[in-house]
Chains A and B, each alone.
Chain A
Amino acid sequence: MKFKLLSISTALKILLLMCVMVQSSLSYGQTRTVSGTVSEDNGDPIIGATVQIKGTTIGTVTDIDGRYTLSIESSNPVLVFRSVGFKNQEVALGNQSVVNVTLDRDVSSLNEVVVVGYGTQRRSDLTGSVSSVKSEELTAFPAINVAQALQGRAAGVNIQANNGAPGSSFKIRIRGGTSINASSDPIFVVDGFIGGALPPPEDIESIEVLKDASATAIYGSRGANGVILVTTRRGKKGAPRIEFNTAFSSQEEIARLDLLNASEFMDYIQEIRPQFNSLGADTNWQDEIFRPGFIQNHQFSISGASDNVDYYVSSAFFDQKGVIIGSGFNRFSVTSNVNIKASERLKIGMNMFVQRSAQEGTRTQENSGGSNNTGVVAGAFKFEPDQPVFDENGRYTIARMNDPHDNPVAVAREFQNETETDRIQVNFLADYQLTDNLTFRTTLGGTTSSAREGTYLPTLLNAGRNVGGQGSITGRRSTLLLNENYLTYTKSFNNVHNLTVMGGYSYQSQVNENWSATGQNFVTDAFEFWNLGAASVWQRPTSSLSDWVLSSFYARLNYGYDDRYLVQFNARYDGSSTFSANNKWAFFPSTALAWNVSNEDFLKDNETVSMFKIRGSYGLTGNQAISPFQTLARFSDIFTVVDGRPTNAIRPTTVANDNLTWETTAQLNIGTDLSFFSDRFYATFEYYRMVTRDLLFQVPLPQYSGFTSQLQNAGRVENKGIEITVGGRIIDRGFQWNTDFNLSTNRNQVLSLPNGNDILYGAFPGHMVGLGQTHILREGFPVGSFFGWIYDGVYQVGDTFIPGGGFEQAPGGERFRDLNGDGILNANDRDIIGNPHPNFIFGWNNDFTWKNFDLNIFFQGTQGNDILSYTLMELDLLSGINNATRMALNRWTPENTDTDVPRAALGRARRVSTRFIYDGSYIRLRNLALGYNLPYDVARRVGVQRARIFVSAQNILTFTNYRGYDPEVNWNSGGAANGNLNLGIDYGSYPNVKSYTLGLNIAF
């Protein structure tokens, strides 16, 4: 027994039924009544099933117990029983006055209505590539947000945690990254609101992922990275339904690193820095910072619908205590969806969403781990194990051999970083039926987000002592407004021609405001960041404002002939303020064709093939992810001191580009959908090729021009791949096994660059000075390729040392390959040494049910991607400034020469080489869940409608060869350019967690 789901199709049917009933109430005269119950094969009632007299519009729906009563006029009617997710059943009434039916489950989703941009379509009418994810999958375990819940659920959608910290973001890529410097993040559309806030997973009915151009071109300049349509839950016909879902999880870090203990560490240090003697402690810093984490997640909702009103009101609370001391996250939200049928022709609705979230941050994935910014995780690995947490004076210890940074316990416990974010979102809509075939919809939505971030660095920390304590407070507010107006015309001719035409106009604007203040040197740490005026050193305040406007026309035409041939045209014409003077407007068309082969005569009655569709599409979409004002030449203020006082000064910072325009992605998609044996098994195959041109590029300028780069449209990048989804009911008796497997490949490569030149860039934590350029963009190779030297092990006594500035020339030293054979080691000996993109990713979901038990096993994985580990580089550089992994025990010494681990050497240069590139493939058991549903009669006896209790475990198994603590790594990979350029980099991330969950779902 599953939770009953609401879907758009239900809503439509209810709507239809409401019309039906209004009409039927007009007729009069009665002969008899018929009643009964509608149930599933296990005896559970089906609520909201429609019971209709065939050939008439007379009907009703079942109540909470599955019962119905219907007045009958005709003598020998046929009753049609329908419910979403079940096969229809017809019963000739005869003389019966009680008809109880059992409906069979229908796994075919062909008649399911899916949400598409600016409308809905039957799945069988789809011409594009759309993956759907349902509520059960989204709520399989307590997820921090929708992105986490979507991980592994849809082919072609690659989702990775950017950081394991509570409240952190996820990186979502639909069919790869289409850009280099602009964002490759998809856009979210929540109940038609583009860029709307995402409600908690529990309040979501379904998610549609639009992948190809025919599906996304209607979003024009924002469609290139795919579109994720989120439909929130709606009230369903019947008595008020009260649901309560609750879950508790306990968590632990997914793995640790195996490091040197104090005596091993001091042996290593004294080999090169004999002046350092052990301080006598033996601290396991990982023990000190990790703790058991805990999540509680509760959701409570009331929903229902009467003839003219449906409503869904829900509140959700999620609270997480992180596995690192001092970290946590919580959110509390209220979702309210109300729709009113104001008249026969007018329907109005309002979606409201209000959320407060609070994050207690801890510093991880630091961009600079210099002495003021050291992170907790990297700190726990590298900090000297011979030091205790507190010195003899009771002060937190600081590093002796490295930059004088604070120990990780001090940073985790004492550094305050708290962010609170409030979201308010309201979206009104009105549908007006102009004629039988023509409807007009207008929506007006607004969402505002205000965040307040406060940090305080107390004097208990060395970094805080240096400045006498530092408090700062930052405010961010953004307001997004959207108005959509569109007409939809639907008409069927002669039962074989189906035509839908939609067209409209939208206007969207966003305003972002930011401000911050910082104070240093306080009398006491007690104020934290709540009395900046008490600081005796005031830092420069900041504030800024940016805004953009997007104005758009769009249209779509769908034509279907006899449910066999389908054709679709889409177009959007977008004008954006962020673009340059000469390119304010652009046009994005797409077209698609589909052939429902299984509706042809020769296959119509085939018992094996129940569905066979071939479809293809081609179109253009854009990526307008350019920040406001970037096309303008700018001077900026610069802090300048004259006579000991700040004074006004400016300097040139940005060069204009009057021709800057959006990135355009041309996408070809060919797909086929198959199902067999009455839809018992199904498969979808897709091939796509996307070429993005006019890539926005920070083209490096000659620095002697006074500028380092200019944003230009230059270069092309390609993504192509194959997506496979297969699944079905493997076993379909009392014991059921449903499986769904998706696998996707994506090949990303740079097709062309400005003038064909390689572009080198560096991506590494700021304190790892000297790495220089670590990555390369090169034609014919993927974005984000690692670039460096080839490590050839260590020099032995008697070897000839290859000369080169900064390269070691001693036995036991790192030996690199003289790649170009010129006898000198230098930057010319570097090559591409790793590819962070996986060969393929996959998700494999299995649901088993037996009687009242259900079992879910969900694997997710990635294969063939490389990782560049700065975590391991920092530890295993062996330059005598911090702790090392146990690999250091095998370092080269005159006695231990048969090794590829170099000797300990002071001043060794950090260098990206094959030594720190690893295979990042993994297979992870994302979820293992066992549930028990209370039998229906037992549940009724205790006064509940349904109840399910479950235990589950997340991430308990990971298969990987990666030497680091977690192969799911993404250092500094959020945001626009970093999200494309910084792939597969490991440095000091907050580890992902293993969780053990106990939960209860109950409905009254």
Chain B
Amino acid sequence: MKSLKILFACSCLLGMMWSCTDLEERPVGILAPEAIFRTANDVEVAVLGSVGLLATEQLYGRQFTSALMLRSDMVDIGDRGTVAARIQMNDFNMDDNNAMVLAIWPRFYEVISAANAALAGSEIVTGSEARINALAAEARFMRAFSYFHLVRNFGEIPYIDFFVSDPATVKNISKTSVATIYQNIIQDLEFAKQWLPDRQPNNVRTRATKGTAAAYLANVHLTLENWQRAYEEAKWVIDNKDRFGYQLMEDFQDLYKAHLADGLAEHIFAVDFLGLQTAPGNINVDFTASMTGIRGADRSGWSVNVPSLKVYQTWPEGDYRKRVSFDSAIMMGGRLQPYPNFVNTQRPHIAKYTRFPGNAQGEFQQSDHNYPDMRYAEVLLIAAEALGEISGATAEAVGYVNQVRARARNEAGVMNSFPADLNSGISKDEFIRLVIEERRFELAFEHKRWYDIQRRRMGNEVFLGPNSLEPRSNFSEARDYLWPIPRQELENNPNLLPQNPGY
């Protein structure tokens, strides 16, 4: 009997345990999507996720910016003991498994996914319509920004403008034509221009405003050679520069002082890295300055992205920007050594990022820079180039260039005579050539030159021509303006075939 009672008690106990078994998961410290989007603030937090993804090692912290530098004729490999993928990127010798490309591609699509998530959120939250629209506009700007970079480097690519919650739905999509992608980019930027605020809180330049959208519209149209539209957008930014808080910095050097970078008036759109901080997943990880610094100097860099000697030698000596842009001597072993005495790579090195890195680690890792992708000087040069294409070297067009040149003459308060103002009346071709050259000096080592070579189809001239700064006998116009789409993407979705030509 007693046994039966115990048996009964046991089964009751089992029954009780069974009833309190609860297998539902209630994660702590993790965000489930359905719980996220309730108010406009939640959308903002998601938009900022896409902003934060730009400040990663794969994009503006090293890979993407290095790829753009190395691809151009302005930056060569310094220490050839470095990773082969970089050498191949530089030497037009890469395959479709290039480690740099493999890093860049998914990151940009993560930016797009984050922006699309924010956009999807903006459609379900309630609140001030103006605020929600402004956030949707910022998300659309981030999406356009990413596709603009992708389409220029990869050509036809998959274009996705919705948040993918089930990847099976996009598994078999095909590539979208370059023309359609540009149309979508323009639509996004126009929406952004309509709904974004004139200024973001504290005038930060890492979040888009109306002015940012317009400046990128100008750049997109310039790339598409829609000169009139490019001119109009650039002109609109210039005309409204006070409204947006844009101006040229008085001293060119001040553009490259990391501690001044937040809200810098000349920046129109920049990617903000916080010095000395890192986060898992290569977030806020920045090696750009390290890659350009001088190996073996008392404060050593890694001598990877180093211009060829000819870049330095052909740059006019009187240009203050040359002294800002280069270190031709450095403290080594406690003594100032000229570049022929450098221990690793005997060439002048890029100084823009290493001279004033702000809070940064010993070899310049995790600097405090904000890397501009668009600054006011470029808008002036876009206006000049577009107007030049429309009506030649008019006074207005020349004037834009001369604003940039005038600022370049100010060497810490002392006015140099170089570079002299341009005169109107020079030929259109000469003017365009000079604007492109002006971009080369003004925007040197800022990830712009490769795009100029590409959109102006200058590859044969700058890599194969007699005055090449960085001769590359194997450069091929048919192949090298585009990068290969990562091989595994083609393997996962054969509808993306064919690969870009030559890879």
Contact = CB atoms under 8 A, between A and B. Distances in A.
B390 interface: no
Contact of A575 (B23, B27, B84, B105): B23
A650 B109 contact: no
Contact of B488 (A462, A483, A700, A909): A700
B289 interface: no
Contacts of A462: 362
Contact of A635 (B33, B55, B487, B488): B33
Interface stretch (B45-53, B123-131, B221-229): B45-53
B414 interface: no
B489 A642 contact: no
Contacts of A701: 167, 171, 492
B85 A770 contact: yes
Contact of B346 (A275, A371, A440, A465): A275
A22 interface: no
A584 to B, nearest CB: 5
Contacts of B254: none
Interface stretch (B277-285, B422-430, B432-440): B277-285
Interface string B339-371: 000011010000000000001011101001000
B309 interface: no
16 contacts: A403-B302, A483-B17, A485-B13, A505-B17, A540-B279, A634-B32, A638-B49, A651-B52, A655-B166, A702-B167, A702-B171, A702-B489, A770-B84, A770-B85, A772-B102, A827-B487
A651 B25 contact: no
A780 to B, nearest CB: 18
Contacts of A467: 276, 361-362
Contact of A638 (B52, B99, B272): B52
Contacts of B32: 632-635
A389 to B, nearest CB: 20
A649 B277 contact: no
Interface string A414-437: 000000000000000000101100
Given A652-B117, A704-B109, A769 B167 contact: no
Contacts, number: 274
B167 A707 contact: yes
Interface in A824-866: 826-827
Interface in B470-500: 486-489, 491-493
Interface centre among A505, A638, A649, A650 (most CB of B within 10 A): A638
A132 interface: no
Interface in B314-354: 343-344, 346
A650 B109 CA distance: 15
Interface in B47-67: 48-53, 55
B106 A703 contact: yes
Interface stretch (A544-552, A717-725, A947-955): A544-552
A401 interface: yes
Contacts of A804: 95
A434 B7 contact: yes
B21 A704 contact: no
A710 B164 CA distance: 12
A943 interface: no
Interface stretch (B187-195, B199-207, B393-401, B457-465): B199-207
Nearest to B83: A769
Contacts of A551: 17-18, 21, 23
Given A634-B32, A635-B31, A635-B33, A507 B17 contact: yes
Contact of A578 (B25, B33, B51, B93): B25
Given A577-B24, A632-B30, A642-B272, A908 B49 contact: no
Contacts of B106: 703, 708
B48 A648 contact: yes
A905 to B, nearest CB: 10
Given A702-B167, A710-B167, A910 B84 contact: yes
Contacts of A773: 97, 488
Nearest to A442: B10
B53 A704 contact: no
Contacts of B443: none
Interface string A768-795: 0110110000000000000000000000
Contacts of A881: 81
Contacts of B110: 651, 706
A641 B105 CA distance: 22
Contact of A879 (B77, B81, B167): B81
B30 A432 contact: no
Given A434-B6, A708-B106, 7 more contacts: A505-B18, A551-B21, A704-B170, A707-B167, A769-B83, A907-B84, A910-B84
B420 interface: no
A400 interface: yes
A734 interface: no
Contacts of A648: 45, 48
Contacts of B28: 545
B491 A641 contact: no
A432 B99 CA distance: 65
A379 to B, nearest CB: 17
A655 B165 contact: yes
Given A629-B27, A702-B170, A881-B81, A539 B99 contact: no
A702 B493 contact: yes
A704 B362 contact: no
A640 B85 CA distance: 29
Contact of A805 (B157, B274, B278, B503): B503
The B interface is mostly helix, strand or loop, or mixed, namely loop
Interface string B149-167: 0000000011010011111
Nearest to B204: A643
A94 interface: no
The 4 closest A-B pairs by CB, nearest first: A706-B113, A640-B52, A466-B362, A639-B279
A549 B359 CA distance: 46
Contacts of B82: 907
Contacts of B36: 635, 650
A565 B375 CA distance: 87
B147 to A, nearest CB: 11
B81 A402 contact: yes
A432 B6 CA distance: 9
A136 to B, nearest CB: 40
A234 B94 CA distance: 67
B78 to A, nearest CB: 12
Contact of B27 (A273, A442, A576, A632): A632
Given A642-B206, A648-B48, A705 B81 contact: no
A832 B74 CA distance: 41
Contact of B112 (A507, A706, A880): A706
Contacts of A549: 21-23
A705 B52 contact: no
Contacts of A434: 3, 6-7
B263 interface: yes
Contacts of B344: 275, 400
Residue picked from A645, A646, A703, most chain B C-beta under 10 Å: A703
B247 interface: no
Contact of B51 (A546, A576, A640, A879): A640
B26 to A, nearest CB: 9
Given A273-B81, A769-B85, A772-B102, A576 B23 contact: yes
Nearest to B22: A549
Nearest to A768: B83
Contacts of A708: 106
B144 to A, nearest CB: 16
B6 A633 contact: no
A649 B3 contact: no
Contacts of A579: 23
B374 to A, nearest CB: 17
A29 interface: no
Given A485-B14, A707-B164, A806-B95, A651 B21 contact: no
A819 interface: no
A471 to B, nearest CB: 14
A705 B157 CA distance: 12
